[in-house]
Chain A
């Protein structure tokens, strides 16, 4: 009996082995790329490619290749022409006249005109529409009336002739041109929107340097070069965006040669920095963002400015940045990112644990329990524990509470937390975006001022800056405001994060933009 069994066993085993070999070869198909195309990675499948509906980075990145706005930003964050060749600002900053270039066409061959601009902008403000981005254009004269249904169109948007459009604002707003570079202000063709209806989100038609050839959901998007692009056409024949949610897979795919550029995940950074093969291919971009520890300034214990400063002294931010964060950022002394700051800022307080402890004791807060709210993101948990241990030495007992993201936001907006860790990323590259939403007393809670900070003088300065005509005038006001804010410490300012990307050696002319949606993919080639 044993012999028969052994024979059967051996036979089955050999079949099994053959099967394994047979599966092995197709299983390791390592080469997975299309020639002539550049391969990027997306963290998740975009929800929509309709500029009116896009609220996330992924949508912004792709739609930048498919559409154009009146203006755009270059790598130095200057406003440069896009669909508008030139413009004039008059009436103390309340009137903008744009002169569109001739011969710019949508992907359906029709020329872009001023009527398209009016249509696209009103579409964002349409009360029957669902655009969450109406705030981008609601400073236009007549926008509020249109949005509430009282007017049939927006008074402030006037088509002067086929290539000229005049936009009047309700009040002067110096960052207005920056708002027009945003995704929501992209120009869309009316007949395509009407033809596709809700499916316009998956069948976008624009005037951009690329068109969407194929979208395999949760797998990849294929973009092809628009040969008739009004500007100089792109150097690369097409772009493939692969949807890869897992960082480890993206890294492996990159090392196998199936991706051409990746953003370096935090935990691989050290390895790539050390590797002689890869380290010269790392590009960095100084992000327009600020990471901070926010206080609830509206109630004890942190309505006490001395206690806030004590917390500031007790944390060795530089050390955390250099060791834990591996130097992937620039130390921050104020809320405005270094790239946008055109004035001097006085440094507030260095690491001084002894002084911190003394202040805590003097203010009678020794062993006081404070609640620190975070979300379960691993990096945030780690930073929170590090902060917790620093504050313990200063005499404060920090309790960390983890909440899922939306619960966390709601709690902070309500003012439940004493301390919270969060970041603010620029919507547009103007210092106003880092001051008004975050520190103006009208914005307590969900609009951005989560520290519930109130200072009438700062309010006044911010408003003056918004109403200025020239950036340099605005900067004067912003500079004074930021110095006051830095002194009063409604936050402990940690850092401005730097993003790192890694590219293959054969990728040429790779440019990295501080705001990803500025990249139109025109320069890069293989």
Chain B
């Protein structure tokens, strides 16, 4: 409902873009009826909600294609970017977070922490531009923009991965430090069990629980970042679609994209909640922490 309120501030007659200016009045009327611009606002809203339930998000004012179809076709691209970003951010984040926890206070710890905070402070659209400038335009090893295979995907995924990597690294570090000082580990040490027997994997398993949560929450940052990154890199995904909708004030498009993005975010968070409940023994014992 929030998003529908956006629609009615639309100035301008989108019909002209669809058919060109010299079309006959008959064709103009035909198209106007098609996009429903001749009905009143309230009836349009009712129409919209009923269509939405059926999965129909209406048509773009300007291309007259169904918004749902467009989002459906561009969605896999955005997912691909998010997956690519995760593939880069998660392993490196966990590894380096671990490293900085183990060598706490040392040089690598300080370097990693500084780099992490740096990545979190840089605006994603600017880092995208800098990455494009360096790798594409100056070194010329990858294409600067476009949609397609791996070579087009690498740079935008890298851009999205940077802040995610930073978050994951920081959380891993804190979490590992937490776990390592936990009672059951100390008990094991006190009992005299050899260092190496303290199962490294056991520690990791516990430490990674909050990390999983963060990875899920961070998914939102991929969606946010996608709007900016896809625009810069010319990647044909939902993010760039949103941006084009914003520039043209194409409200069905903007609404559709926000709804889809939010739904996805909510689903991922639910998933993360479920995983968290299963995986974290503390939560199971003490009930849901809110």
Contacts and interface: CB of A to CB of B under 8 A. Distances in A.
**Do any beta carbons of A and B sit within 8 angstroms of each other in the complex?**
yes
B17 interface: yes
B181 interface: no
B102 A2 contact: yes
B248 A404 contact: yes
Interface centre among B14, B62, B146 (most CB of A within 10 A): B146
B188 to A, nearest CB: 11
Interface stretch (B44-52, B136-144, B161-169): B136-144
Contact of B249 (A12, A132, A253, A404): A404
Contacts of B187: none
B: interface residue count bin: 35 or more
Contacts of A6: 102
A13 interface: yes
Contacts of B53: none
A437 to B, nearest CB: 9
Contacts of A134: 24
Given A5-B200, A249-B145, A12 B95 contact: yes
Contacts of A408: 12
A55 interface: yes
A406 B196 CA distance: 70
A9 B151 contact: no
A26 to B, nearest CB: 7
Given A3-B196, A9-B98, A405-B17, A246 B146 contact: yes
B195 A1 contact: yes
B121 interface: no
Contacts of A135: 22
A403 B11 CA distance: 9
B62 A406 contact: yes
Contacts of A130: 27
Given A16-B91, A405-B17, A410 B234 contact: no
Given A407-B12, A410-B16, A245 B234 contact: yes
A410 B12 contact: yes
Interface of B: 10-14, 16-17, 19-24, 27, 61-62, 91-92, 95, 98-99, 102, 132, 136-137, 140-147, 150-151, 154, 195-196, 198, 200, 203, 234, 236, 247-250
B196 A248 contact: no
Contact of A406 (B12, B140, B143, B147): B12
Contacts of A3: 196
Interface in A237-281: 244-246, 248-249, 252-253, 255-256
A132 B31 CA distance: 13
B99 A9 contact: yes
B91 A27 contact: no
A147 B23 CA distance: 13
B220 to A, nearest CB: 26
Interface centre among A16, A130, A407 (most CB of B within 10 A): A407
B11 A27 contact: no
B13 A12 contact: no
Interface in A381-418: 403-411, 413
A404 to B, nearest CB: 4
A376 interface: yes
Contacts of B21: 409, 413, 446-447
Contact of B247 (A16, A30, A218, A404): A404
A427 to B, nearest CB: 10
A406 B17 contact: yes
B145 A406 contact: no
A29 interface: yes
Contact of A27 (B17, B150, B234): B150
